[in-house]
Chains A and B, each alone.
Chain A
Amino acid sequence: ETGVTQTPRHLVMGMTNKKSLKCEQHLGHNAMYWYKQSAKKPLELMFVYNFKEQTENNSVPSRFSPECPNSSHLFLHLHTLQPEDSALYLCASSKWDSGEKLFFGSGTQLSVL
């Protein structure tokens, strides 16, 4: 248990659905991240939040919409996804700009039909 909790663990959705992924940490970290892990590709950084402010949007399509209401919670809202968006979505947190390690959640395995 790393202290970073992601829900749901698995999600199957149609291309017209709207769903949200949730990430929660109570480690006192002030930076939170969304990564996408696809087969045979490196982990792709999607979004970075520092003290609730988005500091990185790595050219992610607008069908992915992040939300960080406070430094402990991070959401990824999904709408009108494509089958190629099927992947493992990992949330992580850390102390901002400290070089300390990222603590990862167990991920949400997303399948888009």
Chain B
Amino acid sequence: AQTVTQSQPEMSVQEAETVTLSCTYDTSESDYYLFWYKQPPSRQMILVIRQEAYKQQNATENRFSVNFQKAAKSFSLKISDSQLGDAAMYFCAYFRDDKIIFGKGTRLHILP
């Protein structure tokens, strides 16, 4: 069965600095999708970034980028120029066969 592991329960970063959140996953499949979702205190799950496993190029969305290492089954999220509004729970997720499996999440604190 697929699993998603986020080894950092909590992280803190100074405003305007860069932070990297880690995610590893386990699968025997070669074709799948990976996501990072953000859940602020409002509880709304918001998609941050999406990566297709068959694409070698790392996805980027403005200040958010990923380091996708398929062989290592690693999918880390880098947030550049951190802002106070980035404070939230971040969930890494794996999608295949109509199911999304989530990691336990990393709570990100932004220090002013």
Identify the A interface with B (CB < 8 A): 2, 31, 33, 40-43, 45, 48, 50, 55-56, 88, 90, 92, 96-97, 99, 101-102, 104, 106-107, 109
Contacts and interface: CB of A to CB of B under 8 A. Distances in A.
A41 B104 contact: yes
Contacts of A107: 43
Given A92-B45, A109-B43, 9 more contacts: A2-B44, A41-B104, A43-B102, A56-B98, A56-B99, A90-B45, A99-B33, A99-B95, A101-B50
Nearest to B101: A45
B98 A96 contact: yes
A11 to B, nearest CB: 14
A101 B47 contact: yes
- Residues of B in contact with A, size category: 20 to 34
A89 to B, nearest CB: 11
A40 B43 CA distance: 15
Given A48-B99, A50-B98, A42 B44 contact: no
Closest 4 CB pairs of A and B: A104-B45, A43-B102, A99-B33, A101-B47
Nearest to B35: A101
A99 B91 contact: no
Contacts of A40: 104
B52 interface: yes
A96 to B, nearest CB: 6
